A = this chain, B = another copy of it.
Amino acid sequence: MIERLRNIDPLDLTAFTNGLKEEIVARVTDKISHLESSLAVAELTVALHYLLSTPKDLLIWDVGHQGYVHKALTGRLDALNTQRTKEGISGFLKRDESPYDFFGAGHASTSLSVLTGACIADAAAGRRRKRVAVIGDGSMTGGQSFEALNHLATTAGDALVILNDNDGSIDSTVGALHEYNSYGGYIQSLGWEYSYLEKGNDVLSLLESLKAVIDRGGKQLLHIRTSKPNLSKSKSYEPGTTFQWWAAEQMKKILKSNQQLRVFSPAMFASSGFGPLRDEFPEQFIDTGINEPHTATAAAGMAASGGRAWVHIYSTFLQRAMDQVIHDIALQNLPVIFLVDRAGLVGADGPTHHGVFDAGFLADVPNTTIWNPRNGDELQAMMVEAASIQDSLEGPLFIRYPKAKTACGTPEKFEPMKWMSQKESNSLLLSTGALSSHVESGVFDHLHLGQVKPLPENLPQLLKDYSNVLVVEESIGNGGLFGGLAGLVADKDLEVKLVKRKISDEFTNHGNRHELLKELGLIP
């Protein structure tokens, strides 16, 4: 299709784009917000592929959730209806999917660093090509975009950045740059030339502006306004059925009982089911923008002032605040409570988003407490307990729950561990988190550990009754609960053989969560 595109008369590009949009809408049924973002840049995408000689010239998309039109143009129109399903194409750009996907992404604010690396590589190799990155106004709140702009300005080579400003990313954009629309001054202070196009959805205006900035060369940022179509929003959680819903219900009670408590989030309130709650308690919700390091340290600053700070964050994004968890919270014994959402396999978003790393790295940080509820009732009991002990905590507490359904049950009190079945076996199944509700223990005894760090004090004594322990956990590698157990067995010289069922040392592709868990052998 891209060859066809390049032979079209410019005056026919608008009709071409409109036709393409219709074809895309007809094929995409999943993840409406990505479709909206993609349609908002349909004209830009067409104009860029029309002007550039991709894939020889570089086109880098930030996050990549606005890449549907790009995918359609580069041989993947028909595959769009398989997108985000097990054997289908990815919802994001992916290097091994197409030579037109120069760089994959799923997390925000990386594109300008990639552009920097490409400029450096081209200078080193003496290679000439056009280099363009497209970044949204939401991604501009992430500090990595600043780091790249500030550094790249002083590096050799032409580079063009398109700032796609549509007043919102995953949630409404926040921060001074957006609020005061002061991108021009900002960009110029960082040594870039700045230009602006109001008609960012008009393909002929785009062609003209793009040609102009490409011809000027040097470091150019073109700020365009685009508008997103208003497709029906589908994001809501059916009452009583998901961890997300149970978390929001309990949060509501906690917010009411302590009006000085603040919940921080790096732009994910709306996606995570906390949107309605934020509307009800606007003072108590702090949306910092897409900037996880800042979010974590700001919560630490509040805690250091004696305030009650909670952080709502996805497991996959917590990876970006690892240093801040260690250096600003754990090392300083500060009582910050984290609701770690999407801890575990997330399904359709795939390998960029699976929350499979935090269980390992958090367990190896001193002063952390880690809880993994097996259902919504236990999640609520943990949140109640966390609120009641927050003042006496000496370090961060993490309550980790997956993006998953959970059946309604009966209210619980917090307990660090719970017997699921006892059959006087000499083999024990030890599980944690939502998997505890789904594994089949067969003839084994089955113990669920809601608290995986610190491990319950009586655990060594309890393990003496067993010769085999099978650890089942929704986390990658050798750390987390399995690592804790292995350490305990080694340190206490226990006579027990460990077996593990964890996610093996590979990235897991996208697909239905339940299917993936089965395929990985974590549930029967």
- Chain A 270-305 near chain B by CB (<8 Å), digits 1 or 0: 000000000000000010110101101111111111
Interchain Cβ contacts under 8 Å between A and B, 16 examples: A103-B304, A103-B328, A113-B300, A113-B328, A114-B298, A117-B299, A118-B302, A120-B307, A125-B305, A143-B291, A147-B294, A151-B291, A293-B320, A320-B322, A322-B361, A477-B487
Q: Given the complex of chains A and B, what is the CA–CA distance between A327 and B360 in angstroms?
A: 16
- Chain A 141-153 near chain B by CB (<8 Å), digits 1 or 0: 1111111111101
Q: Identify which of B289, B352, B477, B498 contacts A150 (C-beta below 8 A).
A: B289
Select from chain B the residue with minimum beta-carbon distance to A287: B151
Q: Please tell me if A363 contacts chain B, counting CB pairs below 8 Å.
A: yes
Q: Identify which of B110, B113, B327, B333 contacts A110 (C-beta below 8 A).
A: B327
Give the residues in chain B near A351, CB-CB below 8 Å: 331
The stretch of A72-80, A188-196, A222-230, A432-440 that contacts the partner chain: A188-196
Q: Please tell me if A421 contacts chain B, counting CB pairs below 8 Å.
A: no
Q: Are B309 and A364 in contact (CB under 8 A)?
A: no
Q: Please tell me if A262 contacts chain B, counting CB pairs below 8 Å.
A: yes
Q: Please tell me if A208 contacts chain B, counting CB pairs below 8 Å.
A: no
Q: Are A110 and B151 in contact (CB under 8 A)?
A: no
Q: Given the complex of chains A and B, what is the CA–CA distance between A490 and B183 in angstroms?
A: 55
Q: Identify which of B183, B291, B478 contacts A147 (C-beta below 8 A).
A: B291
Q: Identify which of B147, B153, B179 contacts A191 (C-beta below 8 A).
A: B179
Q: Identify which of B286, B317, B491 contacts A500 (C-beta below 8 A).
A: B491
Q: Given the complex of chains A and B, what is the CA–CA distance between A300 and B105 in angstroms?
A: 12
- Chain A 470-488 near chain B by CB (<8 Å), digits 1 or 0: 0000001111001110110
A117 touching B304 in the complex, CB below 8 Å, given contacts A146-B146, A149-B176, A357-B326: yes
Give the residues in chain B near A357, CB-CB below 8 Å: 326, 361, 364-365
A252 to chain B, nearest CB (A): 18
Q: Please tell me if A16 contacts chain B, counting CB pairs below 8 Å.
A: no
The listed residue with most B CB atoms (<10 A of its CB), out of A145, A309, A331, A367, is: A331
A371 to chain B, nearest CB (A): 17
Select from chain B the residue with minimum beta-carbon distance to A179: B154
- Given A117-B307, A124-B302, A364-B505, 4 new contacts (CB under 8 A): A110-B328, A117-B309, A143-B146, A182-B189
A51 to chain B, nearest CB (A): 20
Count how many chain A residues have C-beta atoms less than 8 Å from C-beta atoms of the other chain: 115
Give the residues in chain B near A288, CB-CB below 8 Å: 147, 151
Q: Identify which of B144, B319, B330, B482 contacts A294 (C-beta below 8 A).
A: B144
Residues of A within 8 A of B (CB): 95, 102-107, 110, 113-118, 120-122, 124-125, 127, 141-151, 153-155, 174-177, 179-180, 182-186, 188-192, 260-262, 286, 288-289, 291, 293-294, 296-307, 309, 317, 319-320, 322-324, 326-328, 330-333, 351-352, 357, 360-361, 363-367, 476-479, 482-484, 486-487, 489-491, 493, 497-500, 505-507
Give the residues in chain B near A365, CB-CB below 8 Å: 357, 477
A477 touching B478 in the complex, CB below 8 Å, given contacts A294-B144, A305-B121, A307-B121: no
A333 to chain B, nearest CB (A): 8
Q: Are B483 and A477 in contact (CB under 8 A)?
A: yes
